[in-house]
């Protein structure tokens, strides 16, 4: 094997500090210790990044040698430039500015070829390599942390965070939907409760004004009218709480004539009132009953004669389609309501059927006779009531007398008993 033609460095004497030999294009380093904290730290950091210590030391020597070489080249360039200027200065004085200009241009070119600021210098190459390496590492790091596969160490963490956020959003949406349902249900309950409370307050107000008593009177009147209607094949409806054709509620009981056996032939509206109405108010109720219920005849039923509107009479017809009748509050007389019912029924049928001939004078005479009979009946009842009151009074007096006699007899028995006891 032929020996290398390149010069080789002799072995360094001593050997206590290690040996460094330059063989051809190689360096052989044996037992050399470098006491530099920075160099040791760089080797450990590169080893942590999976770069062997030998590779790190090799790169450090390569880079360091180029830096040393560049520094020497820069010093040589400065020396050459100064020596060139010194040698050419006498010639430039003889030839004028031509040589001086060439000198300057030559010096600039020489310096620029070896200047450490030029793009091809060792320093610039090292700087560019470092910048490129750092940029590459930044790009790789950003790509690694942005990828979705297993190469991203934060992939699992990002997926877990995304799942947690989505789950939280879905839970919030579900909770919001449930909250809205609960709010809607509570709103409906509050509205219903408010309506019930309002209705109760209205009912309490009506009861405080005595309307509850009037409703009882209304129901009692309806029961009697319903009985009267049923035996005539008519149908009576209690519609006091329902709006009529004009959305009003006047006319609490509506009688459909003939509806029990066939089509309705005519209608009568009855409106009971437990309080006294002024005459205009009474006419408003009668006309409202006709309009709201689409009736052909209207009857105002009041509790007792005291509640007859001023200027009106019991069982007297007005305007051919209105009648006012007074009955007892607690026990509405059937005979009175039946009389009013018969007159109203005849008038309503006559209004609907042209061929129905009604003898008005005879009807009036019959009604007057009924009125007189009712007046006599009322007088008899009042007398009977007086007799009953007198009988009750006499019976009470007799009872008192009996008790007095019993007490006197008791005292007499006591006196006899005491006398007999003393004689013995």
Q: Mind listing the pLDDT tens digit for each residue in 257-281?
A: 999 888 998 999 999 999 899 999 9
Tell me, what's the pLDDT at 344?
87
Number of domains, the chain: 4
Q: Which residue has the higher pLDDT, 381 or 44?
A: 44
Task: Give the domain-ending residue among 146, 170, 198.
Answer: 146
Residue 213 Cα distances to 186, 197, 273, angstroms:
36, 21, 10
Q: Do 49 and 124 belong to one domain? A: yes
**Most confident range, picked from 168-177, 225-234, 358-367:** 225-234
The SS3 of residue 304 is coil
Residue 125 forms part of a structural domain: yes
To 10 degrees, what angle do helices 53-95 and 97-114 make? 180
Tokens of 157: 């963490």
Q: Do 193 and 276 belong to one domain? A: no
Tell me, what's the pLDDT at 355?
52
Q: Do 58 and 155 belong to one domain? A: no
Q: Residue 93 — very low, low, confident or very high, per pLDDT cuts 50/70/90? A: low
Q: Do 160 and 226 belong to one domain? A: no
Q: What does residue 185 show for φ and ψ, rounded to 5 degrees?
A: -65, -45
What value does the mean pLDDT of the chain take? Answer: 76
Residue 13 forms part of a structural domain: no
Task: Give the domain-ending residue among 209, 232, 258.
Answer: 209
Residue 191 forms part of a structural domain: yes
Q: Residue 411 — very low, low, confident or very high, per pLDDT cuts 50/70/90? A: confident
Q: Do 136 and 158 belong to one domain? A: no
Q: Which domain holds residue 289?
A: 211-358
Q: Do 309 and 197 belong to one domain? A: no
Tell me, what's the pLDDT at 211?
47
Q: Name every residue whose Cβ is closer than 8 Å to that of residue 80 and which is 6 or more positions away in sequence.
A: 110
Tell me, what's the pLDDT at 118?
56
**Most confident range, picked from 82-86, 144-148, 193-197, 318-322:** 318-322
Q: Mind listing the pLDDT tens digit for each residue in 162-221?
A: 777 788 778 877 877 887 787 888 788 778 777 777 666 665 655 555 444 446 899 999
Residue 18 forms part of a structural domain: no
Instruction: Tell whether pTM > 0.85.
Output: no
Distance, CA of 262 to CA of 306 (rounded, Å): 40
Distance, CA of 211 to CA of 214 (rounded, Å): 5
Q: Residue 1 — very low, low, confident or very high, per pLDDT cuts 50/70/90? A: very low
Residue 340 Cα distances to 24, 86, 363, 385, angstroms:
146, 153, 12, 26
Task: Give the domain-ending residue among 209, 229, 256.
Answer: 209
Q: Do 89 and 183 belong to one domain? A: no
Q: What does residue 92 show for φ and ψ, rounded to 5 degrees?
A: -65, -30
Tokens of 235: 């149908």
Distance, CA of 214 to CA of 220 (rounded, Å): 10
Distance, CA of 278 to CA of 394 (rounded, Å): 43
Residue 368 forms part of a structural domain: yes
Q: Mind listing the pLDDT tens digit for each residue in 290-316?
A: 998 999 999 999 998 899 999 998 888
Tokens of 96: 């004028």
């Amino acid at each position: 094997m032929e020996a290398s033609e390149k010069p080789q460095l002799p072995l360094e004497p001593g050997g206590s500090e290690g040996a460094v030999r330059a063989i051809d294009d190689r360096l052989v380093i044996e037992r050399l210790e470098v006491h530099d904290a920075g160099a040791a730290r760089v080797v450990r950091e590169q080893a942590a990044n999976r770069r062997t210590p030998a590779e790190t030391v090799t790169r450090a020597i390569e880079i360091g040698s180029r830096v040393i070489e560049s520094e020497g080249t820069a010093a040589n360039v400065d020396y050459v430039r100064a020596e060139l200027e010194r040698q050419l200065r006498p010639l430039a004085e003889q030839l004028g500015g031509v040589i001086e200009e060439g000198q300057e241009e030559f010096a600039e070119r020489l310096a620029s070829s070896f200047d450490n600021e030029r793009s091809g210098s060792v320093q610039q190459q090292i700087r560019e390599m470092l910048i490129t390496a750092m940029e590459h590492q930044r790009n790789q790091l950003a790509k690694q942390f942005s990828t979705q596969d297993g190469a991203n160490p934060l992939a699992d963490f990002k997926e877990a965070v995304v799942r947690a956020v989505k789950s939280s959003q879905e839970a919030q949406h579900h909770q919001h939907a449930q909250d809205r349902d609960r709010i809607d249900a509570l709103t409906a309950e509050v509205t219903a409760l408010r309506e019930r409370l309002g209705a109760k307050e209205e009912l309490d107000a009506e009861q405080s004004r005595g309307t509850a008593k009037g409703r009882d009177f209304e129901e009692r009147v309806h029961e009697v009218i319903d009985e009267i209607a049923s035996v005539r094949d008519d149908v009576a409806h209690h519609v006091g709480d329902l709006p009529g054709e004009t959305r009003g509620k006047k006319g609490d009981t509506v009688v459909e004539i003939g509806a029990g056996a066939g089509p309705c032939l005519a209608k009568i509206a009855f409106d009971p009132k437990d309080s006294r109405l002024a005459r205009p108010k009474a006419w408003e109720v009668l006309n409202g009953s006709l309009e709201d219920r689409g009736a052909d005849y209207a009857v105002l039923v009041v509790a007792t004669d005291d509640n007859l509107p001023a200027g009106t009479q019991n069982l007297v017809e007005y305007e051919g389609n209105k009648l006012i009748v007074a009955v007892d509050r607690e026990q509405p007389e059937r005979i009175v309501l039946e009389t009013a019912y018969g007159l109203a029924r005849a008038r309503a049928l006559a209004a609907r059927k042209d061929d129905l001939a009604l003898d008005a004078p005879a009807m009036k005479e019959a009604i007057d006779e009924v009125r007189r009979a009712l007046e006599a009946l009322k007088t008899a009842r009042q007398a009977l009531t007086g007799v009953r009151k007198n009988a009750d009074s006499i019976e009470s007096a007799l009872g008192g007398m009996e008790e007095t006699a019993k007490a006197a007899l008791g005292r007499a028995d006591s006196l006899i008993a005491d006398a007999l006891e003393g004689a013995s």
